[in-house]
Chains A and B, each alone.
Chain A
């Protein structure tokens, strides 16, 4: 019940509804964007899972420029 309420408040879904209402909804374009997002998320997950943890020395890296 609570989940349904919050899903209804999802700003992305609501924006899609708004586009439909304004007759600006382009199904193909939306599909392309959704696929791009899915690919980017998967790529990021794969990178995070497969990458090694950083060296301890990197804790102090980039704290100061000089």
Chain B
């Protein structure tokens, strides 16, 4: 009997510690499926949600499980479908609208900015708009200037919208659930390559916090704020720097609007150095907003001018020849980090050579094979 009880105890402990590793795209599919099962008022809409690839697998087979009234393969009429989605949301439905590329949402900016974002405000809190819009951002082979932009700051400009940018498989599910439970519009920006990242994702339905950034690695030497797929570039650099006793404090931004800078300010007060690595353009980017917010309150908090890494001021090129100089690579990022640190030339050289030795040889404009996780 005692042996049997011990067995049950260890089995329980094992089950509690057992991690369930799935990809971010599987996590999104699971969250959507679980929520649709639970809430019959949730309607899914989007262009290509029923095609064989199912938006990176995030909508695969949902049309087989649920009725055509709930999984709506929409026509190429973004402003129209967004208007319908807002109308449904005001009338006691929840809508999950998906744009396979963020650029498709540009055709519905008027609906998003003027109706979704402001209905609650202009009706004195009467009309809630429980609408979630998922949009895919970021680079990918051959996507070029009009299909690979990272326009998260465009949407972050508008009061009334919540703008999320998950980086992990755990948040992929948890943030989507939180967004679907929010009574007003929430936009989720997903980097194309983030869908392949894996991590521990509980089977049960759960929520992630959508109010603030998260410190994913504690460090004393410099604060690095980043988001989405870029988190993995910074983790990669961080692992190398640890060998030289340099510790980065890595902050995953997660929530672009409302922007909560408190954890960043607390970190910067400790490290007195800051780098922001964003997925979008450096000019008019989220980095500018963060630095300005800090300096408005704490003008003497930095020992070194804060810096930003982002995309250069030109449209995204399609050709690989230019893509390799357009996107900041691990070496660019590492150089920007060590520029702020008090490191001598020899150590700098050693850091860069170690970094180069760890770089995988893979085609440009495809995900780094080392960034699949689990994280």
Asked if A24 lies at the interface with its beta carbon under 8 angstroms from chain B, I say no
Asked if B317 lies at the interface with its beta carbon under 8 angstroms from chain A, I say yes
Q: How far, in angstroms, from A58 to B319 measured CA to CA in the complex?
A: 11
Which residues does chain B contribute within 8 Å of A2, judged by CB atoms?
A: 52
Which residues does chain A contribute within 8 Å of B319, judged by CB atoms?
A: 53-54
Asked if B312 lies at the interface with its beta carbon under 8 angstroms from chain A, I say yes
A59, B322: Cβ atoms closer than 8 Å: yes
Q: How far, in angstroms, from A58 to B325 measured CA to CA in the complex?
A: 11
Asked if B75 lies at the interface with its beta carbon under 8 angstroms from chain A, I say no
Which residues does chain A contribute within 8 Å of B313, judged by CB atoms?
A: 60, 63
Known: A59-B312, A63-B314, A63-B315. A53 touches B52 (CB 8 A): no
Asked if B360 lies at the interface with its beta carbon under 8 angstroms from chain A, I say no
Q: Report the nearest B residue to A63, measured CB to CB.
A: B314
Asked if A49 lies at the interface with its beta carbon under 8 angstroms from chain B, I say no
Asked if A56 lies at the interface with its beta carbon under 8 angstroms from chain B, I say yes
Which of A2, A54, A59, A63 has the most chain B CB atoms closer than 10 A to its own CB?
A59
Asked if A6 lies at the interface with its beta carbon under 8 angstroms from chain B, I say yes
Known: A2-B52, A6-B52. A56 touches B314 (CB 8 A): no
Return the CB mask of B318-333 against A: 1 if under 8 Å, else 0. Answer: 0111100110000000
**B80–chain A nearest beta-carbon distance, Å:** 22
Which of B52, B313, B314, B317 has the most chain A CB atoms closer than 10 A to its own CB?
B314
A60, B325: Cβ atoms closer than 8 Å: no
Which residues does chain A contribute within 8 Å of B321, judged by CB atoms?
A: 52-54
Which residues does chain A contribute within 8 Å of B326, judged by CB atoms?
A: 59
- 25 contacting pairs across A/B (C-beta < 8 A): A2-B52, A6-B52, A52-B321, A53-B319, A53-B320, A53-B321, A53-B322, A54-B317, A54-B319, A54-B321, A54-B322, A56-B322, A56-B325, A58-B322, A59-B312, A59-B314, A59-B317, A59-B322, A59-B325, A59-B326, A60-B313, A60-B314, A63-B313, A63-B314, A63-B315
- 5 shortest A-B CB distances, which residue pairs? A53-B321, A63-B314, A56-B325, A59-B314, A59-B322
